[in-house]
Amino acid sequence: ADSLRALGAQEGLRVGTAVDMAQLGTNQAYTQLVADQFSVVTPENVMKWDSVEPSRGTYNWQPADQLVQFAQQHKQLVRGHTLMWHNQIPSWLTSGVADGSISNAQLREILHQHVTDEVGHFRGKIWQWDVANELIANSWDSHPLADGVNGDDFWVQHLGEGIIADVFRWAHEADPKALLMYNDYNIAGEDGTNAKFQAVYDLVKRLRAQGVPIDGVGEQGHLDTQYGFDAQRFQADLQAFGDLGLKVAVTEADVRTFVDNATDQVPTSQLAQFAQPEEFSEMLKGCQLVRQCISFTAWGVYDGDSWIPGTFGGEGYGLLYDVKLQPKPAYFALQQDLELG
C-alpha cells in the first residue's frame, strides 16, 4: 500500500511527524521512514529557545538548519515549533528574571529580539509557525484569568496578556508569508468539560477582531487511552475554528497507554490495543472532515523514542511505529482512512 504522505497528497492533506535530530541521519531506518512516509516535519526540540540560544547572544541553528535542508531535499514542508512557550526557555533567561538582573521591560525586548532573529533566520522556509504555545489554563491550573488565559504562565505573568498579540505581530513582521498558529493541548475537552476550547476560541476570535496576524489553531492531540476521547467534540472544535476563517492542524498526535516493558512496551490492557488505532483514526478523520484542516502530525516516529515514558511513568506505546520501527495497527488505521479519503 501507499505511504501516508502519498495518500494524504491525494486529498491535499499533509501528514507529518515530529523529528528528533538525535536520530535523523544517524538511525538509518528512522531516517528512511521520515523521508518515505511524511510530507511535513516538526523539529521536536531543536527550534526551541534553549536549543537555538543556549547562552545569551550565541546562536546554534545547526540542527534546525539540518532539518530544514532534509525537508527541502525530500519535498517536505516544515512546521516551526515554537516561539513563545513557558518550557525549554534558556537558563540564562530564567535565572536573569529570577535574580532581577533582567527587568520585565528588558524581558519584553529580549523576547522581541528572539522572535525577530529566529523567524528571520528561517524566513521563507517555514510553512506554519507555532507562535504561541500552551497559554490557556487547564482545569487544574490555579490562577486562570477571567478569559481563561493561564495567569501563572511565565510570559503572561511577566509581560501581561497583551504579549500574545505582540508575539504574533513580531513574527508576521519577520516572515509575512508563514502561517502563524496558536497551539495547545486538551482543547477538545479531554478533561470532561469544554472550558478550554471556549477559552481558546475566545482568544483567537479576540485576536482576529483586533487585526492580529493569526492564521490558525493547532490542536496537539496528546491522548491517553484511559480517558477515552470525544471524537465528535474534537471535530466540532476544529470546525468552529475553521468557521472563524482560521486554518486548523492536528500538530502533536499520540495516544499513550500503560505498557508492559517486559514485552517491549506492548499495552497491558487488551482494550488499549483497539482504543489506540481507533483514537488515532478519529483524530485524523476529524481533520479530513474539516475543510480548513491542513496537516495531521504525529508527535514522534516510534515507541522507542517518545517523550511519554519520561513524563508519564508506566505509560508509552503512543506512536505509529513500535520499538523495532515496525508499523502498528494505528499506522494501518491511518493508512486506511487516507485511502478512503
Give the binding site for ligand G3I (CB under 6 A): 44-45, 87-88, 133, 220, 252, 307
Minimum distance from residue 9 beta carbon to ligand G3I (Å): 26
Q: Which residues touch 67 (CB under 8 Å, ≥6 apart)? A: 19, 21, 24, 41, 43, 46, 78
Q: How far is the CB of 85 from ligand G3I (least distance, A)?
A: 7
Positive/negative CA dihedral, 190, 336, 275, 260:
negative
The minimum distance between CB 94 and ligand G3I, in angstroms, equals 14
Classify the phi-psi angles of 245: left when phi > 0, otherwise alpha if psi is within -120 to 50, otherwise beta.
left
Task: Find the catalytic residue in 53, 190, 252, 315.
Answer: 252
Q: Of the two residues 220 and 292, which places its CB atom closer to ligand G3I in the complex?
A: 220
Residue 182: in which H helix or E strand, if any? strand 179-184
Q: Are 284 and 296 in contact (CB under 8 A)?
A: yes
Catalytic residue among 44, 118, 134, 279: 134
Closer by beta carbon to ligand G3I, 214 or else 308: 308
Determine the length of the chain: 341
Q: Which is nearer to ligand G3I, 189 or 218 (CB)?
A: 218
Note the helical H segments in 11-161. Answer: 28-37, 49-52, 62-73, 91-98, 104-121, 154-159
Q: How far is the CB of 220 from ligand G3I (least distance, A)?
A: 6
Q: Closest separation between CB of residue 88 and ligand G3I, Å?
A: 5
Q: Which residue is nearest to ligand G3I (CB)?
A: 307
CA 283 to chain CA centroid, Å, is 14
* Closer residue to ligand G3I (CB): 43 or 213: 43
Annotation says 11 is catalytic: no
Pick between residue 190 and residue 337 the one whose CB is nearest to ligand G3I.
190
Q: How far apart are CA 291 and CA 95, in angstroms?
A: 45
Q: Classify each residue of 132-146 as buried b or exposed e, where b means 16 or more C-beta atoms within 10 Å of its C-beta.
A: bbbbbbbeeeeebee
**Looking at the annotation, which residues are catalytic?**
134, 252
